[in-house]
Amino acid sequence: MTQHDRLLIIDFGSQVTQLIARRLRELNVYCEIHPYNRVDEAFLRAFAPKAVIFSGGPASVYWQDAPMPPKGVFELGVPILGICYGQQVMMHCLGGHVEGGHGTAEFGRAFVTPAAERLPLLEGWFEGGTEQVWMSHGDHVSKIAPGFRVYGTSPNAPFAITADPERHFYAVQFHPEVHHTPKGAKLYENFVRLAGFKGDWTMGAYREEAIRKIREQVGDAKVICGLSGGVDSSVAAVLIHEAIGDQLTCVFVDHGLLRLGEAEQVVTMFRDHYNMPLIHADESDLFLGALEGVSDPEVKRKTIGRLFIDVFQKHATEVGGAQFLAQGTLYPDVIESVSFSGGPSVTIKSHHNVGGLPEKMGLKLVEPLRELFKDEVRALGRELGLPQSFIGRHPFPGPGLAIRCPGEITREKLDILRRADAVYIDQIRRHGLYDEIWQAFAAILPMRTVGVMGDGRTYDYALALRAVTSVDGMTADYYPFTHDFLGETATRIINEVKGINRVFYDCTSKPPGTIELE
């Protein structure tokens, strides 16, 4: 058990509960998220939180079987912060009233005005008058509970911020954890300060805790890990290796769709530098053979996904008796697989992962990064001593260059693409732009165009350059390179890469585009 102060987040099912945890980790506060129906009085006693947060959620307090907080939580004597549904349920339990129906819903940006009385929770707020917040609620509080007073109102939420400062119970109608509430982080900072947290929970502590949990979960069983060379699976592998040593074997499937020098880099780093048992499965003939003549993006993705599983399974059995499969699943991967409306969502692309394998092979999953966001994984990687050049690498998709080669894939095109991409990335690095960009890559277009080089005619491939900024890959803006940069890069590529005679820059953001071309 950790000796750090602990904060308990009781989850009522909000889409953004993990963001609360993230805001708290940014404040070096240790927290755990537990669903409301798994927390009872005994759990509360054992967990001994120094503060509690009730998340938002989709329910209404007057539904039959509405989610309720555990008995005894208000008697713990610790500060409680209720957010959105968390506010409503708090009011409901403590003697206030909540209403729903027409005209009470509010979604999107709102502005909160302060009340005359100041609240320490709101230190740093309202310096410029009102504060922008993000609302997302169907019901609203119509009467606050005894002991509570109002500290902020918005046009549609007269009880936007309420508190019983004596008991340290705070309740807000909006979501302070999302970026659209610009001062939200300050509110959490004030809350944990009022609760007396020392703020001593660091990535170092996270690492120790993660290692302890991996050992506990795995015991002396064997684990296999699909290593892609990307940051996530690499950090997961190094962390798990630190926890259980050679009980871990990594399988690196080279599908022939990697970038220039990539396979060598991965093998050198993991096998030679980290001394990890690593199976390097060179299966490029198999994959490229199966992709011959395939031009439909979904067929490509599905073919690669299916073969990947087959190959992985074939090599994983060599390990013999593995009971666990390790994956570098991140939190955004977890939420992206859940539809916002709760209903089935449209499949834009069949993302490639090793899904399906665990059931097929009777494996259990080890996913030590499941709660983390990309930048937190990078911080953990740094903590584990992975080189910065590796940690800072742009994401690279599982299907690799296949989805950067729209239309039919040939070895010739892949070879041209690899060399052009290397020049483009080199240009970006030379200009010191690599770390400003979320992801940059070249794609070879399924067309040839006419050009003139020296005194001769050329009839070669056209190349598209892509570069985007993003926080999580779910939305993205194209990167505004200067014309000088673009001109210089196009010239270098055409001069240095035989087979390309025309270069385009893709100025599409996401949406409406996607980051990859397929």
Residue numbers annotated as active site? 84, 175, 177
Binding of residue 431 to ligand XMP (CB under 6 A): no
Strand stretches in 228-268, DSSP E: 248-254
To the nearest whole angstrom, how small is the minimum distance from the Cβ of residue 294 to ligand XMP? 16
Report residue 207: phi and psi, to 5°: -60, -50
CB of 126 to ligand XMP, least distance (A): 38
Nearer to ligand XMP, 86 or 473 (CB): 473
Cα separation, 124 vs 459, whole angstroms? 63
Q: 143: which strand partners?
A: 97
- Report the sign of the C-alpha dihedral through residues 475, 480, 485, 490, in that order: positive
Among 34, 280, 349, 382, binds ligand XMP (CB under 6 A): 349
Which positions from 34 through 73 interact with ligand XMP, judged by CB under 6 A?
A: none
Q: At what angle do helices 284-291 and 297-319 cross, to 10 degrees?
A: 160
- For ligand XMP, which residue of 56, 86, 397, 499 counts as binding (CB under 6 A)? 397
Sheet (strand 30-35) strand order: 30-35, 6-11, 51-54, 80-83, 169-172, 157-164, 149-154, 106-114, 131-137
Q: Which of 15, 154, 439, 489 binds ligand XMP (CB under 6 A)?
A: 439
389 annotated among ligand-binding-site residues:
no
Which residues are 439's β-sheet partners?
468
- The string over 218-254, giving b where at least 16 C-beta atoms fall within 10 Å of a residue's C-beta and e elsewhere, is beeebbbbbbbbbbbbbbbbbbbbbbbeebbbbbbbb
Is 233 annotated to bind a ligand? Reply is yes
Give the residue with the Cβ less far from ligand XMP, 217 or 350: 350
Q: Are 442 and 417 in contact (CB under 8 A)?
A: yes
Q: Compose the 460-489 pattern: x for residues touching ligand XMP by CB under 6 A, - for all others.
A: -------------x----------------
The verdict on 265 binding ligand XMP (CB under 6 A) reads no
Least distance to ligand XMP, CB of residue 350, Å: 7
State in angstroms the smallest separation of the CB of 395 from ligand XMP.
4
Least distance to ligand XMP from the beta carbon of 348, Å?
6
Distance of closest approach, residue 362 Cβ to ligand XMP, in angstroms: 24
Contact 74, 123 (CB under 8 A): no
| Structure token digits, residue 229 | 């060379």
Distance (Å, whole) CA 517 – CA 399: 12
How far is residue 486's CA from residue 442's CA, in Å, rounded to a whole number?
13
Q: How far is the CB of 384 from ligand XMP (least distance, A)?
A: 21
Which span sits near ligand XMP by CB under 6 A: 72-80, 218-226, 489-497, 509-517? Answer: 509-517
Query: Which region, judged by CB under 6 A, interacts with ligand XMP, from 114-122, 163-171, 321-329, 510-518?
Result: 510-518
Shortest reach from residue 72's CB to ligand XMP, in Å = 44
Specify the residue, 304 or 322, whose C-beta has the smaller distance to ligand XMP. Answer: 304
Give the whole-angstrom CA distance, residue 224 versus residue 309: 13
Give me the sign of the Cα torsion angle 278, 284, 290, 294. positive
Q: Which stretch in 80-88, 185-193, 317-325, 393-401 sits in contact with ligand XMP by CB under 6 A?
A: 393-401
Reported as type and span, the H/E element at residue 475 is none
- By beta-carbon proximity to ligand XMP, the closer residue of 67 and 398 is 398
DSSP 436: G
Q: Is 234 annotated as a binding residue?
A: yes
Residues 6+ apart with CB under 8 A from 480: none
List C-alpha distances in Å: 358 to 203, 230, 247, 326, 364: 29, 21, 18, 10, 6
Please, are residues 322 and 221 in contact by the beta-carbon 8 Å criterion? yes
Report if residue 256 touches ligand XMP, rule: CB under 6 A: no
Least distance in angstroms from the C-beta of 438 to ligand XMP: 7
For residue 329, state whether it binds ligand XMP (rule: CB under 6 A).
no
Q: Is 130 in the site for ligand XMP (CB under 6 A)?
A: no
- Per rule CB under 6 A, is residue 392 in the interface with ligand XMP? no
For position 328 contacting ligand XMP by CB under 6 A, the verdict is no
262 binds ligand XMP (CB under 6 A): no
Q: Which stretch binds ligand XMP (CB under 6 A): 53-61, 140-148, 254-262, 391-399?
A: 391-399
Is the previous residue joined to 512 through a cis bond, with omega within 30 degrees of 0? Answer: yes
351 binds ligand XMP (CB under 6 A): yes
470 among the known binding-site residues?
Answer: no
CB count in 10 Å sphere of residue 173:
32
Task: Say whether the peptide bond before residue 511 is cis (omega within 30 degrees of 0).
Answer: yes
- Over the window 138 to 157, marking each residue x when it contacts ligand XMP by CB under 6 A and - when it does not, the resulting string is --------------------
Given 395, 407, 446, 451, the residue binding ligand XMP (CB under 6 A): 395
Map tokens 């537990």 to a residue: 34
The Cα 302–Cα 297 span in angstroms is: 9
Interface residues for ligand XMP in 195-254 (CB under 6 A)? none
> Token pair 């994984």 is at which residue?
377
Token couple for 84: 């959105």
* Contact predicate 497/423, CB 8 Å: yes
Which among 67-75, 136-144, 250-258, 508-516 is the span making contact with ligand XMP, rule CB under 6 A?
Answer: 508-516
Among 244, 369, 377, 515, binds ligand XMP (CB under 6 A): 515
Annotated binding site: 228-234
Annotated binding site for ATP: 228-234
* Residues engaged in binding ligand XMP (CB under 6 A): 349, 351-352, 395, 397-399, 439, 473, 510, 514-516
